[in-house]
Amino acid sequence: MQQPWRFVNTGNSEPAFNMALDEALLLVHEAGAAPPTLRVYGWCQPTLSLGYAQNAHQEVDLATCQSQGIAVVRRPTGGRAVLHDQEVTYSVVMPLLLVDGPSTITEHYRRIGMALAMALQSLGVPVHLARPQVRVAFSRALASPACFAALSRYELSAAGKKIVGSAQKRAQRALLQHGAIPLWLDRQRLFECFRVPPERRQALVQAAYTTMGAVNEVAPAPVALSAVQNALRQSFSVTFGVELVEAPISPEEWRLAQHLQATKYATDAWNLDGAAAWRQRQPVASV
Amino acid sequence: MEFPANLRYTKEHEWARQEGNRIVVGITDYAQKELGDVVFVELPEVGTPIETMGTFGVVESVKAVSDLYAPVSGTIVESNIILEDQPELVNASPYGQGWMVVIEAANAEEFQQLLTAAEYQAYVAQEKSSR
């Protein structure tokens, strides 16, 4: 048995804190001061999270988001936008070095994908891992701004629809992967967040009925949020051959998360203007 | 997969080429294949001081956002800004047009301490195999 992992359920938090804590968990684990961690969490308000390099000013209808009470936050990870609402959100922080298999990006995706699939299958949700040879042509200009619109390698689908959207950040010795497992999906509301012409918006919403799914749209019986969270703890334990011990966030992690929240994830510079603009405004080299 | 013998490498999958006191840096053929289609590259401005193994930028692919690590310390003297508009060059030509930065090395000995092609190739083989 390897070193135990930590399991932590941090409940619903502010969007900026959620992203700050995920980054703090990565940084502290990278520094060797925390175990690998599976975190489950939620959002205290509906939130549109953007990928690291997405252009908020061009792609997001900020006025509509504000009037609808939808917060906007930029993730430390890549990919496209996710509307977090009525979902289970997970994050995994773990070493790049796997002791029982190849330590490649593909293998990390495959293993985490297996754990996610096992959790949902245990609840009767008929999910599949996308096959590795599936190659999604990517064009930033033509692609949907929504993460759930495209299925990538080792992502989960049910009835041909993407049902878990995940994104990854890789540091020197550790990785952060976080993702959304929607229990329900409001496709209209999702695409109202984007700056697209009305006719294209309706086309995107219609397409989303065939490309995006949610757990309770395909589960044989209603699945509760806590059931998914518990199933994740079990399935990560089995998949990675480790015990998952419930333990709190350390004071060091809290302090770093609060610092990152104040200086990064709660700022318009990071969330709206982007990573490069935020970095330029830092007084000194920063995390 | 290419491992040019005239380059040196890091375990973080950067390559380095020495041109006098200037070190040209990019990510390896193995790294670009692992990452998949690169969609975004963020590089430092010329004049930025950099420490050995300090992060000098970010590359985003369809799979992940990855930090970029400087093989040697010094000062950024060139940044391949073409990659901002054509990040796919990292996939198409990782050792050529996909170069990322040039570092004016602070200490010439640091380059000699990087992995040789054979050492890096062995490291990649180990990373890909079961341990």
Average pLDDT for A141-145: 60
Residue of A nearest to B11 (CA): A172
Instruction: Write down the pLDDT at residue A153.
Output: 66
Instruction: Report which residue type is found at A153.
Output: R
Chain A contact present for B6, CB below 8 A: no
Question: What's the pLDDT score for residue B108?
Answer: 85
Give me the mean pLDDT over the A33-42 stretch.
Answer: 98
What is the value of ipTM here, to two decimals? 0.91
pLDDT tens readout for residues A4-25: 999 999 999 999 999 999 999 9
pLDDT in tens, A196-237: 999 999 999 999 999 999 999 999 999 999 999 999 999 999
Residues of chain B positioned with their CB less than 8 A from the CB of A167:
64-65
Q: How confident is the model over A157-190, as pLDDT tens digits?
A: 998 999 999 999 999 999 999 999 999 999 999 9
Mutate to test the interface with A, among B13, B58, B63 (most CBs of A within 10 A): B63
| Res. A244: pLDDT tops 50 | yes
Indicate the pTM of the whole model.
0.93
CA–CA dist B41, A160 (Å, integer): 32
8 A C-beta contact, residue A87 and residue A183: yes
Among A90-94, A149-153, A226-230, B63-67, the range scoring the smallest mean pLDDT is A149-153
Q: What would the pLDDT profile of B48-98 be if each residue is shown by its tens digit?
A: 999 999 999 999 998 899 999 999 999 999 999 999 999 999 999 999 999
- Closest chain B residue to A55 measured between Cα atoms? B40
With cut-offs at 50, 70 and 90, classify the pLDDT of residue B130: low
Looking at the complex, report in whole angstroms how far the Cα of residue B18 sits from the nearest Cα belonging to chain A. Answer: 23
Any alpha helices (H) in chain A, and if so which ranges? 15-30, 56-59, 62-67, 105-122, 187-192, 198-211, 215-218, 225-240, 251-260, 268, 275-280
Regarding beta strands B49-50 and B74-79, do their DSSP bridges make them parallel or antiparallel, or are they unpaired?
antiparallel
Is some CB atom of chain B closer than 8 A to the CB atom of A106? yes
Q: Does A213 touch chain B (CB under 8 A)?
A: no
Catalytic residue flag (residue A44): no
At A142, the pLDDT band (50, 70, 90 cuts) reads very low
